[in-house]
Amino acid sequence: MSTGLYYIIGGVKGGTKIKETIRALSDRFDHAASVLYIGASHDYNPLFERGFRNALAKDEHPEDFQVTSLNLTAADSQTIEGMFADAHIIFFDGSEISLLKEAFKSHHLKDLSQQAFERGACVGGLCAGGSYLGSTVVYADEASHELKATYGLGLIPNTTITCYIGDKAQIQRMRILEDVSYRQNETGLGVPINQTVTWHPDTGFERLFADGISPIIYTPD
């Protein structure tokens, strides 16, 4: 397996799609997959891990993958590098974009994520944790709740990404996504609730669940 997949989970109700996403990604490997979980709290401790682990605890074959949590505030750079190198699936939980930016910058997570992808790992996450992989991300500001756009990591190149959960702001979010992607000449990707979208340079974007809602894709042309 030469390279892996980048993936974005658009949002979940009850954690079902987290389990199903990890299950589908782990099936890519011919051995038990190592899942690296990185939490979404303000200090990067995995305070939201309970929902993640509860979702995986309902899996009928938990022996097929093993979950390890990474506390960025407690681990040194060598430990972080080693955990990324050992992981087959890397999961960034949803978080504020400002916190994601700080975490990725402080701990060089972009380089580690890219290296993991290049050796065959699946790298992504829930909502902002996955959207941030694109060149640009459209998100709801935590304080003002206004919809904004900012730069992402660019691991999924030339792409503006947003996730939506079918709320009243959905239409406005799609309008901003279309406008931003057009102005920046990027592909626009809107990932719906209970759907996961994967990306590979050879295949582009693909939805993981055929019976789920299709993602919205705007093309520059």
**pLDDT value at 179 more than 90:** yes
- Number of helices followed by number of strands (H, E) in the chain: 7, 12
Q: Residues 135-178: pLDDT tens digits? A: 999 988 877 778 899 999 999 999 999 987 555 667 888 889 99
Q: Give the HSE-up count for residue 217: Cα atoms under 13 Å, Cβ half-sphere.
A: 15
Query: Residue ranges per domain, the chain?
Result: 5-210
For the 5-210 domain, the top CATH level (class) is alpha beta
Whether the pLDDT of residue 117 is over 90: the answer is yes
pLDDT in tens, 68-97: 888 888 889 999 999 999 999 999 987 788
pLDDT digits (tens, 9 = 90+) for 24-72: 999 899 888 999 988 755 454 444 565 676 666 665 566 678 888 888 8
Nearest to 200 by CA among 146, 172, 159: 159
What stretch of H or E contains 106?
Answer: helix 97-107
What pTM, to 2 d.p., does this model score?
0.90
High-pLDDT (> 90) share of the chain, %: 48
Q: Which residues contact 198 (CB under 8 A, 6 or more apart)?
A: 5, 6, 7, 122, 124, 205, 206, 207, 208
Confidence band (pLDDT; 50, 70, 90) for 114?
very high
